[in-house]
């Protein structure tokens, strides 16, 4: 039996219980939510909370569309406020929307907290398998189904600790959207192929690319000298 060790298969996410789940969101995936899923919500006059902002890749996109965006994370990534969303106190109904890519193991808790903070809606970016399991069905979906389940037709590559334009993944992702002022009649939709349309060169951290190039050049230098017998 031949083992499948392709990059896409190896890039599946498996994190420990104490992990920060440091997987930055590609900005185009957030634009897809705003352009295709909640495009008719008049969000240009609304406020939004991003409570798991990481390095700000999602927040910066939200700021392109919303009137006001507040960002925070439990860890200091150098962007937004350092706050524990689940433990800190937020004024009830203090933001129009809560939009985030929460740690997968805490997604349910984020949803429960967010529905008390938001007035209009909650949108969670999560692995497609969040839709599964008897436990989540009984605790969430049976009585509080999302208004919209928007499955990405394209893969959304997320790499631990960095944003990587060239990454691939075997993991499927979807947007789970709850409309808090409407009766929740579940809508199933697909996010159409849109990466080429929504992706921008400036979305990616040039310093990270520079570091990777320096590392590659250093490895090449070592390899050349090993071959020449100089090391």
Tell me the average pLDDT across 19-38: 93
pTM value is 0.82
**Which residues 6+ apart lie within 8 Å of 214 measured at CB?**
none
> DSSP character for 26?
P
For residue 9, being part of any structural domain is answered with no
For residue 69, being part of any structural domain is answered with yes
pLDDT at 122: 98
| Containing structural domain, residue 218 | 203-231
pLDDT at 224: 44
For residue 7, being part of any structural domain is answered with no
pLDDT tens digits along 188-230: 999 999 999 999 999 987 544 434 443 334 444 344 444 445 4
| Burial class for 17, CB neighbours closer than 10 Å (0-12, 13-18, 19+) | exposed
User: Do 97 and 131 share a domain, yes or no?
Assistant: yes
Give the whole-angstrom CA distance, residue 180 versus residue 204: 33
* CATH number for the domain harbouring residue 132: 3.40.50.150
User: Do 216 and 177 share a domain, yes or no?
Assistant: no
Give the whole-angstrom CA distance, residue 211 versus residue 226: 23
């Amino acid at each position: 039996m031949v083992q499948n060790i392709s990059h896409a298969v190896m890039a599946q996410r498996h994190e420990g219980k104490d992990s920060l789940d440091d997987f930055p969101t590609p900005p185009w995936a957030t634009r897809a939510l705003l352009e295709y899923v909640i495009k008719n919500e008049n969000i240009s006059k609304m406020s939004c909370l991003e409570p798991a902002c990481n390095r700000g890749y999602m927040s910066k996109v939200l700021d392109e569309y919303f009137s006001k965006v507040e960002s925070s994370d439990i860890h200091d990534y150098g962007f937004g406020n350092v706050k524990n969303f689940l433990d800190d106190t937020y004024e009830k109904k203090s933001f129009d929307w809560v939009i985030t890519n929460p740690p997968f193991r805490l997604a349910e808790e984020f949803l429960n907290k967010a529905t008390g903070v938001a007035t209009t809606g909650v949108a969670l970016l999560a692995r497609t398998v969040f839709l599964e399991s008897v436990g989540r069905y009984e605790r969430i979906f049976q009585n509080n189904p999302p208004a919209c389940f928007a499955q990405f037709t394209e893969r959304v590559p997320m790499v631990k600790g960095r944003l990587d334009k060239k990454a691939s993944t075997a993991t499927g992702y979807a947007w789970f959207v709850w409309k808090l002022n409407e009766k929740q009649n579940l809508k199933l939709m697909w996010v159409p192929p849109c990466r080429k349309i929504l992706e921008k060169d400036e979305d990616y951290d040039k310093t990270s690319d520079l570091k990777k190039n320096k590392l590659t050049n250093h490895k090449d230098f070592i390899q050349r000298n090993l071959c020449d017998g100089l090391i």
